[in-house]
Chains A and B, each alone.
Chain A
Amino acid sequence: MLGIKLLARDWRGGDLIILLMATALAVAIVTGIGMFAERLGNAIVAQSSQLLGADLIMESPRPVETQWWPQIDGIDQSYAVSFATMLSAGDGFQIASLRAVDSAYPLRGNIKISRQLFGDVEETNGGPQVGNIWADSRVLQALGVEVGDSLEIGDTSLRIDAVLVSEPGGNNTGFAPGALMHKDDLAAARVILPGSRVRYYYYFTGETESVAAFQQALTPKLLPEHRIYGVKEGRPRVAGAIDKAESYLMLGGTLGLVLAGAAIAIAARRYTLEQEGVVAVLKTLGTSSNRIVALYSQQLAGIALLSVGVGWGVGWFLQWSIAQVVSQVMLVELAAASFRPLVAGGVTGLVCLAAFAAPPLLGLRKISPVIVLRREAGQAVGSVINAWLIGGTALFGLMVWYTSDLLLAGLVFAGLLLTAILVGACAWLLLRTTHWAGMQAGSVWRLATASLRRRALENSIQVVIFSITLMLFLVLVILRSSLLQDWQEQLPEGTPNHFLVNVSPAQMPEVKGWLSENALEDEGLYPMVRARMTHVNGELVKQRVSKDGDDTASMDREINLTWAAAMPSDNILLEGEWWQANTVRDEVSLESTLALRLGIVLGDSLRFQLADQSFEAQVSSLREVDWERMRPNFYMIFPAHVLESYPATYITSFYLPTENKSLLVDFVRRFPTVTVFEVDAIIAQVRIIVAQVSMAIEAVLWLVIACGGLVLMATIRASLSERLRESAILRTLGAQTRLIMGGLAIEFILLGLVAGVLGAAGAELVGALVQIYSFDMEYSPQPIVWLLGPVAGMVLIGGLGVLASRKVVRQPPLLVLRELE
C-alpha cells in the first residue's frame, strides 16, 4: 500500500489536514445535528405527550368493548370517564367536571396536587385511590371544605385526599371547576345514568412504531362519533412549533453541509495543486497513469476512513455537549439517538469526498511529466465550472436526501446559486473600484487595494465563498428571529386564557358587568346557535363528504353558528364581499378550509337544520380564520336577521391573571349555568415547549456558525501562500511590518466588508424565499442583518486573515519564501 505510505508521509506536510478536517467536519455536522435533532425531537414529542397525557387518545360518547381494540403489541392503555355532576358537602352544592380514571392513568406526564389549599405542589404519576377524590381549589373554596373532609357525589361519599392543581389531559374540555376520582367508585355513586352527557377517553402509549401501527389499525374501525388525536392533531400549535423547529434544524444541518462541502472543495483543490509537482516527479520516475490513479484512490480511501471516524467522534461530542446544556436548562432527559445519524454522516463524508475531492485528485493522472522542466500549474484541477457542477449536483442530492424536502432543498440551492452568481459579479466590480479608491489614499491602502485588484478573479471567488458563508449565518439569524417572533405573537402576554360558554341572553348584561367590575377585558360576546348543515345546493352533505373520503365524522354533527354585523378583526376576507349592515338577504360567510373540504364555492346555497326548523343561506364570502388565537372563532357567520329568531347562547374569552384565579369561584357561584373553559395551563405548557424549541434553534445556529468559521479559515489559508510570498518579497525590499500587516489587514477587512454586504443581500433573498414557501410564514425583513453582515464580515474575515498571516512578519522572509517553494 504505497498510496497509504505516501498519505502518511504527506500528512506530515500538513496540507492534507485541512482536507481531512473539512471532510470530518461534514461528517460531524450531519452526525451531530442529526443526532441532536432526533434526540430533541423525541424529547419534545415526549413533553407534548405529557401535555396530552398519552401518545394517542380516542374520544367516544359511549364505552368501547375491550375486544373492539386492534391487538398490537407494546401498547399501554388507560381510560377516563368525563362528565359533569353535582358535588355537595353539608348544605353546599357545586357543579363540577369530574374525571373517573383507572389505576394506569396518566400514561404520560404527572398529576400536580397539593396536600392543602394553595399549599406546596407535588407531582404524582397516579390518580386517587379508591374511596378518595382530588378536587381543585375552587370546589373546596365553593363548598368551604378542606383536605381530609368528605364530598358527597351521587349515592357515595369520597374523602378529599388532595387539592388537584393540574393533570396532563388538561381540564380544558369539561366544566370548571374539576375533580378526579377512581373509576371503581363510579358504580356506587350512580351518577352516570342513561342520557347523561359522558365522554369516554381512551389513552394509548408505546414505542413510536407501535403507536403508529395501532393508529393505522384503529382508523378504519372508527365510527363517526369517535375522535382520535395524537400530539400533532391534539395540539396543532405545538405541532406547528415542532414542525418548524424540525425544518429549522434540518435547514441548519443542510447549510452546515453546504459549508463543509465548500471547505472540502477548497482544500481538495489546494491539495491537488500541490500534488501536481509530486505526480510529475512520480511520472518522470516511470509511474504510469493507472498507478497514479491507484495511489490516489488509496489515499482517498485512507482520508475517507480517517475523516469519517474523526467526524463521528466530533459529531457525537458536539451533540453530547449541546444536549448536556440543553437538558440542564430545559430539565428534560434526552433519550439516546439511533444509529441513523451515524449512517447519514458516514454517507455524507463519502459522497462529499467522491464529489469534491475525487475528481481533481484523480485528474492528477493527466499531469504531463514535462512540467518538471516547465512549470505550468493547474493542469489536473481542470475546469472550475466542471468541479462545481459535480459538487453542486452531489450537494443538492445530499440536501434532498437529508431534509426529505425537495422544496426546502430546492429553495436553498436556488438561492445559493443565484447569490453565488450575483455576488461573484458584484464582487468583481467592487474590487476593481476599491483599487481606484485606494489610489487616492495612503501607501498602506494602495498596497492593499492593488493586491485586491491584481487577484480580482481569485478574490471574487473568495468573496463568493465568504458571502455565502455569511449569508448562511444570516439566513439562520433571520429565520430564528422571525420564528421566535411568530411564536411570540401567537401567544402574547395577555392572551385570553379562559372561555365563557353558555351565557344566556338574560345573563349577558350581568356577565359583562362582572367582567368590567373585575377589570377583565373580554374579546366581545358572540352569539352562538347550534345547528346541523344538511344540504349544499339541495344535495345531502352526507353524500357529498362521503364522496371524497372520511370527513363524515367532522360534518355529521352540530356546529356553532354566529351572527355579526362586521367581520371579526383577525379574520381575512379571501373571496366575495362582507354584507352591508342593513342587508336583508340570507347570506353566510364561510371559513375557507371548510369550504375547500366540502367543495363549496361562492353563491352556493346551504341548508341548516335546527331542531325541527330549517333555513337556507347563500355563501357570499370566504374567510381565513386563525384557529390558534385563543378567541371565539366560527366556521359560519350570518347577518343577524337570519339567526336572531333562534335560541342562542353567548360565548367570550378573556385573560385572567393566575393570581386572580380565585375570582372564578365567585363567578361560578353567581352564574352556575355558565361553563368556564380554562386554557391557561395549556398556554403555559405550550410556552414551555416553544421555549425549548427556541433553545434548540439557538444551539443549531451556533453549531453552524462554528462550521462557517472553519470554512472561512480554510478559504483564507488556501489563498495565503501567494499573499505570504508577496509580503515576504516586500519585506526583503525593506517594507515595515506595519505596512505589510496593515496592508493585509485592510485587504481582509475590505474583503469581509464586501462579503458582508453581499451576504446580507443574499440572506434577505433566501430568507424571504424560505419563510414564504417553506415555513409558510409571512416575510418579515430583518434590518439587523444589514448591520450584522458587514460587521461580522469585517471582524471575522479581517481577524482570521490577520491571525493566519502573522507568520509573514514573525519568520525571516527567506524562510517564508523557501517554505513556499
Chain B
Amino acid sequence: MIRTDKVVKHIPAGDDVVRILNGVELTIAESESAAITGASGSGKSTLLGILAGLDTPSSGQVWLGDNEITCLNEDQRAKVRSDLVGFVFQSFQLLPALTALENVMLPLELKGVSKARQIASEYLRRVGLAERLSHYPRQLSGGEQQRVAVARAFASRPRILFADEPTGNLDLKTGSQVADLLFELNAEFGTTLVLVTHDVDLAGRCAKHWQLEDGLLTCAEAEV
C-alpha cells in the first residue's frame, strides 16, 4: 500500500544543509499498522508529511497505492489524498469556527457526499460524542477534540490513515482511550495505519515498528 525508495530530505539552513532523511526505505502492506518512533527533531513528522504527500522529498520516490506521488504536483497529490488518505494530528487541527459536527462533515462535503450530516453524526456517535455535536472545539476537552479528529478521519473511509503523535497532547488515560479508538476503527475498516509517535507502548501495538535515527529507519521490534 505504501512504498518508498531512497527518500532523502535536506533543508537548507543558512549556508548549511540540514540532512533530515538520508534514504528512507519502507514498505507497508494494505491493512497493516506501522509505527515510526524517534527522538524529538529526528524527522518523524517530516517523513510522515512526505509519505502522505503533504510535502515532497529532495530525492527518492514514494508510492501510495498505485500512485507514485513523488511525480505528481500538489493538486494531483491533493486528489490522491482525497481518495485514499485520512489524518489525525497531534494538535487536532479542527477548524475553530466549525462545530464538532461541521468539522466531521467538512471532508464529506468537499467530496460532495449527499448525506454528510447523517454520516458525520453517526461517526461522532461512534467515538462517543453524540452529545457534543454542536459544540465548538474550544468548548471541548483535548481528548474530545482528538476524538472529533478521529471521527473526521474515518468518516470519509480512507484506505490509509496517517496519525502524527495522536496522543502527544493528551494525558495518559485519555491518550490510551484515543489510541484504543484508533486501533478499533482500523481493525473494523481494514485501514492501513501509519503512526508517528515517541510513545513506545503505542508503537508496540502496531504490526511494524521502525525507529528513525540519523535520517535512516531501523527495525525497532518485530511483530508483536
Binding site for B on A (CB under 8 A): 2, 5, 9-10, 12-13, 277-278, 280-291, 368-370, 372-374, 818-819, 821
Contacts and interface: CB of A to CB of B under 8 A. Distances in A.
A373 B45 contact: yes
Contact of A372 (B89, B96, B111, B138): B89
Contacts of B49: 370, 373-374
Nearest to B50: A370
B144 interface: no
Contacts of B110: 2, 282, 285-287, 291
Contacts of A277: 93, 95
Interface in B96-110: 96-98, 102, 106-107, 109-110
B87 interface: yes
A286 B85 contact: yes
A136 B55 CA distance: 95
B98 A285 contact: no
A9 B98 contact: yes
A187 to B, nearest CB: 86
A372 B86 CA distance: 13
A369 B77 CA distance: 11
A13 B138 CA distance: 11
B78 A819 contact: no
20 contacts: A2-B110, A9-B98, A277-B93, A278-B97, A281-B95, A282-B106, A283-B54, A283-B81, A284-B52, A284-B54, A284-B81, A285-B106, A286-B110, A287-B82, A288-B79, A291-B110, A368-B55, A369-B54, A373-B55, A821-B96
Interface string B167-203: 0000000000000000000000000000000000000
B78 A372 contact: no
B96 A5 contact: no
A689 B102 CA distance: 61
A281 B74 CA distance: 14
A288 B93 contact: no
Contacts of B75: 288-290
A287 B164 CA distance: 20
B183 to A, nearest CB: 22
B83 interface: yes
B159 to A, nearest CB: 13
B210 to A, nearest CB: 18
Given A9-B97, A13-B96, A286 B81 contact: yes
Contact of B74 (A10, A278, A289, A821): A289
Nearest to A5: B109
Interface string B54-89: 110000000000000000001100111111010101
A291 B87 CA distance: 20
B24 interface: no
Contact of B54 (A282, A287, A288, A370): A370
Contacts of A368: 54-55, 74
Contacts of A281: 93, 95
B97 A13 contact: yes
B134 to A, nearest CB: 11
Contacts of B216: none
A285 B97 contact: no
Interface string B113-154: 000000000000000000000000010000000000000000
A12 B99 CA distance: 10
Contact of B107 (A12, A280, A285, A819): A285
Contacts of A5: 109
B164 A373 contact: yes
B207 interface: no
A289 B87 CA distance: 19
B28 interface: no
Contacts of B82: 285-287
B54 A372 contact: yes
A249 to B, nearest CB: 40
A2 B116 CA distance: 12
B195 to A, nearest CB: 14
A287 B111 CA distance: 9
**Which among B54, B111, B156 has the highest number of chain A CB atoms within 10 Å?**
B54
A269 to B, nearest CB: 18
Contacts of B98: 9
Nearest to B89: A372
B38 to A, nearest CB: 14
A372 B79 contact: no
B1 interface: no
B220 interface: no
Given A284-B52, A285-B110, A288-B79, 10 more contacts: A10-B97, A284-B93, A285-B107, A286-B79, A286-B82, A286-B107, A287-B110, A290-B75, A368-B55, A373-B49
Contacts of A280: 93
B204 to A, nearest CB: 24
A288 B107 CA distance: 13
A10 B98 CA distance: 7
Contacts of B79: 286, 288
**Which among B79, B93, B102, B138 has the highest number of chain A CB atoms within 10 Å?**
B93
A2 B109 contact: yes
A819 B52 CA distance: 30
Nearest to B44: A373
Contact of B78 (A10, A13, A286, A374): A286
A287 B75 CA distance: 8
A374 B106 CA distance: 22
A291 B164 CA distance: 26
A290 B110 CA distance: 13
A819 B96 CA distance: 9
